[in-house]
Amino acid sequence: MFVVVTSYAQQSETEQKAVLVTGASSGIGLKITEELSAKGYFVYAGARKQADLDRLNTMDNVQAIKLDVNNWSEINAAVDIVKKEGRGLYGLVNNAGVAIFSPLIEVKEEDLDFIFNVNIYGPYRITKAFAPLIIESKGRITTISSISGILAGRFFGPYSMSKHAMEAFTDALAVEMEKFDVQVSAIEPGNYNSKIVESLVKRMKSKDISFENSLYKEEFESLITSYGADRSRYKDPKEVADAVEKALFSSNPKRRYMVVPNENEANWTITQILREMVQLNENQAYKYNREELIKKLDKILAETE
């Protein structure tokens, strides 16, 4: 018998599901682009710099699109390009993101504006602009949040605030999109290799941001030394990209995909969620006792099985 083996990548364009990934030039966004395109999905890869656009355009199943998530004219132009291509849009991955490290009592408003603009308003703008296409295809929206969407620690305040916002964004959007059969998820990665700290350090240098006169000078220096701009000691983010594929294409996607490289990071995150539950419950007018809490936990566990 003659059997034709067709890989996903060889499927005709009309069969390919298309996905837009923002911030595809490096790190997690690039890995998502590489993984999805290699599996035969069509990826519109958003990037800002011409060299990155050129590099992405050399990949099979990838079309690079100039896309700064802060720039409405680029966003509108990107929507027009995707519409003209005629593939529709099945998946949206809000990945573009930045970080700053700063104590909350010293952070400048312009630095908060910088991070919130990319990490919060970015997904808001992109989701709003592409929602009609996603609704048309009864597709999926996923946002790269972080375990910092649950955790918050010294100097991570602005970043954690932005990722906590993405947790709320995901839950509210998920309910609002139910009536259109669009499913919404968040991915909560732990620490993976990327350029996020390199970009942060570059921005600090270019803006002359220093903590010489900070009340936290010593703690800040030890954070920068322990963290370092080079994240090559961290794992490659392939497992994050795998979770994105599940969020976009599995028949029953989860609301949240926490993906961490070691047990410590899982432990911090889950313990924090449980601690918050205990803190909310303690000394309040309608306090649940231990047995009632366990019953509630069992009920939620049963619902998610």
Residues 6 or more apart whose CB falls under 8 angstroms from that of 151 comprise: 160, 268, 269, 272
Is residue 127 a contact residue for ligand NAP (CB under 6 A)?
Answer: no
Count of residues that bind ligand NAP according to CB under 6 A:
27
Binding segment (CB under 6 A) for ligand NAP, from list 22-30, 175-183, 244-252, 265-273 = 22-30
Q: Does 194 bind ligand NAP (CB under 6 A)?
A: yes
Closest approach of Cβ 301 to ligand NAP, in Å? 26
Residue 70 burial by CB count (10 A; 0-12/13-18/19+): exposed, middle or buried?
middle
130 lies in the site for ligand NAP, by CB under 6 A = no
Could you say whether residue 125 binds ligand NAP (CB under 6 A)?
no
At residue 47, the 3 state secondary structure works out as: strand
SS3 track for 57-126: HCCCCEEEEECCCCCHHHHHHHHHHHHHHCCCCCEEEECCCCCCCCCCCCCCHHHHHHHHHHHHHHHHHH
Out of 33, 95, 102, 142, point to the residue binding ligand NAP (CB under 6 A). 95
Give least dist CB 11 to ligand NAP, A: 27
Q: Rounded to an integer, what distance in angstroms lies between the CA atom of residue 160 and that of residue 107?
A: 14
243-282: contacts with ligand NAP (CB under 6 A): none
Helix 72-85 crosses helix 122-136 at what angle (to 10 degrees)? 20
How far apart are CB 30 and ligand NAP at their closest, in Å? 7
Q: Does 163 qualify as catalytic in the annotation?
A: yes
- Of 133, 196, 241, 260, the one binding ligand NAP (CB under 6 A) is 196
Binding of residue 192 to ligand NAP (CB under 6 A): yes
- The span of 33-41, 93-101, 173-181, 279-287 binding ligand NAP (CB under 6 A) equals 93-101
| Active-site residue flag, 299 | no
User: Which positions ≥6 away from 254 have C-beta within 8 Å?
Assistant: 185, 246, 247, 304
- Shortest CB 258 distance to ligand NAP, Å: 10
Strand pairing of 18-21 and 140-144?
unpaired
Strand partners, 43: 19, 62
Span interacting with ligand NAP, options 58-66, 106-114, 193-201, 281-289, rule CB under 6 A: 193-201
151 binds ligand NAP (CB under 6 A): no
Q: Is the dihedral of CA 6, 11, 16, 20 positive or negative?
A: positive
b/e string for 17-27 if b means 16 or more Cβ within 10 A?
bbbbbbbbbbb
97 binds ligand NAP (CB under 6 A): yes
Which residues ranging from 43 to 82 are in contact with ligand NAP (CB under 6 A)?
Answer: 48-49, 67-70
Binding site for ligand NAP (CB under 6 A): 22-23, 25-29, 48-49, 67-70, 95-98, 118, 144, 146, 189, 191-192, 194-196, 199
